[in-house]
Structure 1
Amino acid sequence: MSTHPHRRPTGAGRTAARATALVATTVVPLMLLTGCFALPGTDAGPAATSGPAAVGGDDSGAVGFDGVQSATLQIEAVGTFVDPSYGGYEAAGFGSGFLVSPDGIALTNNHVVTGAGTLKVWLGGDTSTTLNARVLGSSECLDLAAIQLQGDDFPYFAWADGDIVTAGDAYSAGFPLGDPVFTMTRGIVSKASTPADTPWASLDSVIEHDARIRSGNSGGPLVDPSGRLLGVNYAGSNLYDQNYAIHRDEVLSVIDELVAGENVLSLGINAQGLSDDEGNGLGIWVSSLASGGIADAAGLEPGDLITRMQGVSVGLDGTLADYCDVLRTHGQDASIDVEVYRPADGQYYRGQFNGDPLSAVSVLGSAGGASQATGEFTTITDDSGSVQVEVPAAWTQVDGSPFDDQRGNTYQSIVASPDLAAYTAGWSVPGVNVLASQSAVANTSPADLVAEMAAALPQHGCVSAGTDDYDDGYHVGIYEYWTDCGPEKAEFLVVGATSTANDYIVLVAVQAVSEADLDAIDRVLGSFIAEY
C-alpha cells in the first residue's frame, strides 16, 4: 500500500510568512497624533475637511497676537474609518486649523480631513455659527491639507519673517480634546528645524517645541509673540513632553499647489505606519480614502495594508518614510506597482496606482479553481508559536508538533483538518499542512519540497496540471496543482518556497473535497506566517 502524501515527507518542510495577524496587532507610533477621530469608547479623535482657493500676498490686514483666536478654527469631521485594533467605525472627530487669507482659505492636517464624509467648522470658538468647508488639496507625506470655507472677509494669519531660531518664544493655539473653548499654551522652540519620519508623515523640516499640544490640536497654528505663523502643529508626545509643528518653509513650499486644488506627495490616503507589539513595522495602514483619489481609483479600501510599492517594502520602520520616498522618486502621477494585504478577506492583492487596478493574488484561481474565501475562519499556530495560518473554523483538529526530516532538518509544523486521521489516511476530508524550517534552506530547494510531497500522488490517481512559479511578494518558489485524487476526486495544491531573504524554506499543502474547500485554499495561502 502506497504512503499517503499527507504524511510528513522525509525531506520536506512546510510553511511561510505573511501578515495575517495584522488586525490583531496594535499601532505603536513614535508620537501620538494630536488630532484624531474618536475610536469606540473614547472621547476624541481625528478631524476632517479640506480645501481653500488662493492665498493673497498682502498681509496688512492679518491678525496680531491679540487676534490669534479669531483666525483659529475648530474642525469636526464625520466619516467611516477602519482602525487596525477596533475595525470599522463611524465617528466624529475634532481637530484644529487656521485661516491664511480673508477669502476663507485655511490649513489643517491631512489626517484631520482626508476620508471624512462631512466637515463642520467653527471660527474662534463661536459655536453659534457653523461653517461648511471643502478640501482643496492635501498631502499625506507632509500631513497638510488646504480647505475652503464658505464666505469672505475672514480674519487671517500672516507668516513670520526671518529665521526661526532655537529658544524663541512659541505659542500653540487650537481646540484640544474636542473642547469648543479656545486654548493657547506657551513654550520655546527647542529645535528650529529637524527632519522627522513618523507613522503618519515624512518631513524634511519640523519645529520641536514645548508649547503643549494634545489630541484636537492637530492642524492648529504655532505662532510667535507677534501672532505670526511659525508652522502647523501635527504631533506630540505626552510621555516626553515634546511637540512638533510642520516648519513654515515646508508649508510655504507647497501651499500654492494645495490651494490650487493639487495634491502633493499624495495618493489620497489617510495613512499610518503600522507596527506590531514588538515595534516591528508591518506596512502602511489605510484608515480612510479620499473619494476619487488615486488610491481609491486603484481599488484600495479602508482597512487595507500596503506592503510594497514599486518593489520596495514600505512601513518596515513603522513610518511613512519609504512610502513617501517612492512618491518622491517616481511622482504621484506615475504608474506605481503596489502590493496590498486585505485583512477583511484574508487576500493579497497586486496592481498599480495610475495603472492596472488591484486584483487578488490567487494561485488556485490561475490553476482553474475558485479564488474568494468565504465563511468563518480561525487562526491556528504550531506548538512553538513560529508558524501561523488561517483555516476554516470547522477544521478543529490541529497537530502543531515539530518533526525532523532525514536530512537532519527540524521543521515547525501545523496540520489541520476536520478529521486528522481521515485526512492523513485518504481523500475524504479537507486539510492543510504548513511546514517551515531555517536549517533546511542549506540543503533543500522548493522544487525538492514539492517533488517529495507529490511523489506518491500518481499512485492515487491524481492528475497534475503542471508546475508554475510562485511569488507572493514574501516568498519565491513553485507550486503544483493536482486533481482527481482518490475515489473522492479530491484536489490538492502543493507550494514550496523560500522567503525573499532566503532565511527559511516553507511547504504548504492543501486538500479540497468541496467547493467550500476550494474557496479556502487561497485564504490559506494568503495567511500563512513563519516568524523567526
Structure 2
Amino acid sequence: MTPSRRRAAAAAALGLSMAAALSGCALPALPGFPAAGGDSGGVGFDDVQSATIQIEAVGTFVSPEEGGYEAAGRGSGFLISDDGLAVTNNHVVVGAGTLKVWRGGDTESTLNAKVLGSSECLDLAVIQLEKDDYPHFTWREGEIPTATDVYAAGFPLGDPEFTMTRGIVSKADTAMDTPWASLSHVIEHDARIRAGNSGGPLVDENGKLVGVNYAGNDQHDQNLAIHRDEVQGVLDQLIKGENVMSLGINGTGLMNEDGEGLGIWVNSVASGSAADKAGVEPGDLLTKMEGVSLGTDGTMADYCSVLETHGADATLAVDLFRSGEGVYYSGQFNGDAVEAVSVAQDAGASDGGAQGVDTEYVTVVDDTESVAVEVPASWKGLDTAVFVDPEGGEWAHIDASPDISAFQGGDWSVPGVSIMAAPTATASFTPEEWLSMAEQHLGQSGCVKDTEDAYADGMHEGAFTYWTGCGGVGAQYLMLSAYSTDGSYVIALAVQAVSEADLTTIDRALGSFAASF
C-alpha cells in the first residue's frame, strides 16, 4: 500500500481552493530578431492594436471549484508574421476543441486557428491563423533594463474593446515559479494586466516586443511577462509543431485552504498528446511523477523539474487522483496507460477492491462540520452526533451503514464506516492507543491480521492494519489512525466490508476522509 498518493484526500472531501499568490490572466468561462515566417518589418507603437488578437477557446474544461463545463474562455495573443503565426499562453488554448480569433478589436470577422506547438512549463503556445497578409510585431533588440517604459496590450475581462496599460520594468530578468509555469526568465512590471490579458504582448515605447504577459496580482501590483529571451529560445521549435517541456496538459498547481500543495490539477488535455494517450482526463489531480510529489509549493516547479531531468519523451511513472470517482490511478506517460489502484488490494484484499462495481457516493459531514467522508448513497443509516469516549473526551464523529443499529451493535454481517477526530490537546486517545484497542477487539472476533504498515498521505501520519476472516462470516476490516501532519488533531477511521462492493468503499473512504479543526 502506498498511501502517500493521497495528499488530495482532505481537500477533496471538504472543498478545494486556489490559494496561489498570483492569478492566471486567461479569462475562464464559469459554469530584436526577424519575425518567423514573414519579413523583418513590424508594426509601430501606434499600430499595436492591429497586431493584437483576442482568442476564444471553446471546449470541455474541468475546474477544481466549479467542476466540468463546456463553454468558452478568452485570452489574448499577438501576430509575429505576415502569414498568420501568433503567440499566446499555453493555458489559453491547450485542450480546446475549437479556437476563434478576432484581430484588433474587430468583432465582426472571426478567424479560425490551430495550435502548432505548446509548452505547459513555459506557458507558451504558437497558433496558426488562416493565411492572409497580417500586420505583425517584431522583437526589441538589445537589453531590456529596469525602468524601461512598457505597455501591456490585450483584451482584459473578455471585453472585445482593445486595452493598453502603461508601466515600467521593475525587475528586468528573474526566475519565477507560478501555478501555471516554471520559468527561468521573467519580466516583472507594473503595467496592469487582468484576466483576459493572458498571452498578450508587452511592448516598449516603439511597439517592439519585450515579453508575453501571463500572470498578475492586483493586491501587490505585480504583473509578470515571459521574457523575450525565453520565448525566442523555443519559438522555432513551437512554429515547427514541436512541443517543448510538455506532456499536453493545461495544468494548475493546486493548494488547499491551509496553503498545502496538493498536486497539479488538469483543466484540460490536448488530444493525441502523451497525457491523452496515458489516459489522463480533465479533472484529474497529478500527485506524483517518477516518485516525486508534485505541486508541493502550489506551482508547476516539481512537475517541470521532472520533465527537465528525464525529457518529455521518456517513460514517466505517474500517480493521480480522479476526484469524480474518488479513486487513485497509476501508470505511465509514454508507457502503460493509467489504471485504477485499489487501496484494499494493496492492503491485502483478494479481489482487488471491486473497482468495476458501479456505486453512487455521497459526502457525509458530522454535526460539528469537522469531519467528512464519502459513503455509498444507499447507506441511509447515519449517526453524525458528537461521540463521548469512556474517558469523557469528545470526538467529531460519523458512523454510516445500511443498518446503523446492527453496525453499531457489532454485527459482522453488516458493512459500515466509522470516523472520529479530535484536537490533539483534548483527545483522550493517541493513534497508537486506537490501534491497540482495535487489535484487542478484532483478535477476540476471530479476525486475522493480514497487513500492518505506516501511513502517510501528506496530511496525516500514522499507521493502519488490515484484517480478514472477521466474525465467522469472512468480513474484512481496515483500521487507520494518525495525527495530522501539523500535529493539531488525531483521527481514526474504520471500514467494515462484507461483500465485493464494500471493498470499493474502503478505497473511497480512504480517498475522501477529511478533518478540519
TM-score category of the 2 structures, normalised to the smaller one? 0.7 to 0.9
The CA deviation at 1:314 is 1.6
Q: Deviations over 1:440-478 (max 9, x none)?
A: 9989399857743530232xxx6x594376878556856
Of 237, 241, 244, 1:264 maps to 244
Segments of 5+ residues of structure 2 without an aligned counterpart are: 1-5
Residue in 2 that maps onto 1:337: 317
Quick check: 1:36 aligned with 2:27? yes
- 1:117 partnered with 2:91: no
The answer to whether 1:517 aligns with 2:497 is no
**Partner secondary structure for residue 196 of structure 1:** strand
Partner of 2:477: 493
Evaluate the alpha carbon distance shift between residue 101 and residue 347 of structure 1 in structure 2; reply closer, same or farther with a 3 A threshold: same
Q: Is the 8 A contact 2:363 2:375 kept in 1?
A: yes
The question of whether the paired residues in 2 share the 8 Å contact of 1:446 and 1:498 is answered with no
**One-letter amino acid matched to 1:255:** L
SS in structure 2 at match of 1:251: helix
* Aligned with residue 432 of structure 2, among 434, 444, 447: 444
Q: Secondary structure at the match of 1:142?
A: coil
Q: Does 1:467 align with 2:451?
A: yes
Q: Counterpart of 2:502 in structure 1: which amino acid?
A: D
> Retained in 1: the 8 A contact 2:315–2:332?
yes
* 275, 289, 301: which one aligns with 1:309: 289
In structure 2, how many angstroms separate the alpha carbons of the residues matched to 1:496 and 1:72? 57
Letter in 1 for 2:497: A
3-state secondary structure, aligned to 1:423: helix
Contact 1:131 1:149 in 2 (8 A): yes
Alignment partners' CA distance in 2, 1:18 and 1:121 = 37
Check conservation: 2:263, 2:296, Cα contact below 8 A: yes
Q: Is the Cα contact below 8 Å between 2:78 and 2:87 reproduced in 1?
A: yes
Q: CA deviation at 1:282?
A: 2.0
Q: Indicate the larger mover: 335-344 or 512-521.
A: 512-521
Task: Kindly provide the amino acid, as one letter, of the partner of residue 314 in structure 2.
Answer: A
Q: Is the partner of 1:161 in helix, strand or coil? A: coil
Contact 2:123 2:180 in 1 (8 A): yes
1:297 aligns with 2:251: no
Aligned: 1:367 with 2:350: yes
The 2-side partners of 1:197 and 1:26 are apart by 19
Partner of 1:431: 416
**Alignment CA distance shift 1:165-1:39 (3 Å):** same
Deviations 1:357-402 (A, max 9, x none): 2111213355215125644423335677664321123244225646
Aligned-pair CA distance for 1:219: 0.6
Task: Say if 1:490 and 1:512, in contact at 8 Å, map to a contact too.
Answer: no
- The one of 505, 511, 515 equivalent to 1:526 is 511
* Contact 1:315-1:322 within 8 A present in 2 as well: yes
Question: Are residues 1:229 and 2:217 paired?
Answer: no
Q: CA deviation at 1:93?
A: 1.8
TM-score when normalising by structure 2: 0.85
2:43 and 2:429 mapped to 1: Cα distance?
68
1:390 corresponds to: 374
Q: Of residues 197, 200, 205 in structure 2, which corresponds to 1:220?
A: 200
Separation of aligned partners in 1, 2:314 and 2:483: 29
Q: Distance in 2 between matches of 1:269 and 1:440?
A: 47
Taking structure 1 as reference, are residues 215 and 326 closer, same or farther at Cα in structure 2, changes over 3 Å only? same
SS in 2 for 1:68: helix
Q: 2: CA distance between counterparts of 1:473 and 1:309?
A: 16
CA-CA distance at 1:139 after TM superposition: 1.1
Distance 1:405 1:325 in 2: 51
Q: In the superposition, relative to structure 1, how do residues 55 and 61 fare at CA in structure 2: closer, same or farther (>3 Å)?
A: closer
Deviations 1:58-100, CA, capped at 9 Å, x for gaps = 7532222222222111111101111111111111122111111
- The answer for the alignment partner of 2:362 in structure 1 is 378
Instruction: Give yes or no for contact 2:268–2:282 (8 Å, CA) kept in 1.
Output: yes
Change (3 A) 1:500 1:301: farther
Cross-structure match for 1:89: 69
Aligned pair in 2 of structure 1 residues 409, 180: CA closer, same or farther (>3 Å)?
Answer: closer
Matching of residues 60-99 of structure 1 within 5 Å: 60-99=40-79
Q: In the superposition, relative to structure 1, how do residues 509 and 191 fare at CA in structure 2: closer, same or farther (>3 Å)? A: same
Counterpart residue type for residue 335 of structure 1: T
How many angstroms apart in 1 are the aligned matches of 2:207 and 2:137? 8
SS at 1:116's partner residue?
Answer: coil
Deviates more, 1:20-29 or 1:497-506: 497-506
Q: When the two structures are aligned, how many residues end up with a matched partner?
A: 497
1:135 shift after superposition: 0.6
Q: Specify the code of the residue in structure 2 equivalent to 1:415.
A: D
> Is 1:275 aligned to residue 255 of structure 2?
yes
Identical pairs, percent: 55
Q: How far apart are residue 120 of structure 1 and its match?
A: 1.2
Aligned-pair distance for 1:513? 4.2
Q: Are 1:326 and 2:306 an aligned pair?
A: yes
Deviation at 1:285, TM superposition (A): 1.0
Structure 2: distance between partners of 1:502 and 1:485: 37
**Deviation of residue 234 (structure 1)?**
0.9
Q: TM-score, normalised by structure 1?
A: 0.83
The code of the aligned residue for 2:350 comes to A
Q: Among residues 349, 353, 371, which one is paired with 2:333 in the alignment? A: 353
- Asked if structure 2 preserves the Cα contact closer than 8 Å seen for 1:338 and 1:353, the reply is yes
Name the SS of the counterpart of 2:9 in structure 1: coil
| C-alpha RMSD of the superposition | 3.3
Determine helix, strand or coil for the equivalent of 1:323: helix
Distance apart, 1:247 and its partner CA: 0.8
CA contact (8 A) 2:413 2:475 kept: no
SS for the counterpart of 2:206 is: coil
Deviations 1:167-209 (A, max 9, x none): 1111111122222222222221122122222211121221122
Following superposition, the deviation at residue 17 of structure 1 comes to: 7.4
**Rounded Cα–Cα distance in structure 2 between residues aligned with 1:327 and 1:167:** 34
8 Å CA contact 2:386, 2:395 repeated in 1: no
Taking the TM superposition and a 5 Å limit, the aligned residue runs for 1:97-176 are 97-176=77-156
How far apart in 1 are the matches of 2:370 and 2:133? Answer: 63
Cα distance change on mapping 1:126 and 1:243 into 2, 3 Å: same
Instruction: Trace 1:501-512 onto structure 2 (pairs within 5 A).
Output: 508-512=493-497
Larger deviation, residues 242-251 vs 375-384: 375-384
Task: Return the match for 2:404 from 397, 420, 425.
Answer: 420
Residues 1:480 and 2:460 are matched in the alignment: no
SS in 1 for 2:302: helix
Q: 1:367–1:481: 8 Å Cα contact kept in structure 2? A: no
Shift of 1:57: 8.1
C-alpha distance in 2 between matches for 1:302 and 1:396: 34
Amino acid at match of 2:118: S
- 1:19 pairs with 9, 21, 34, which one? 9
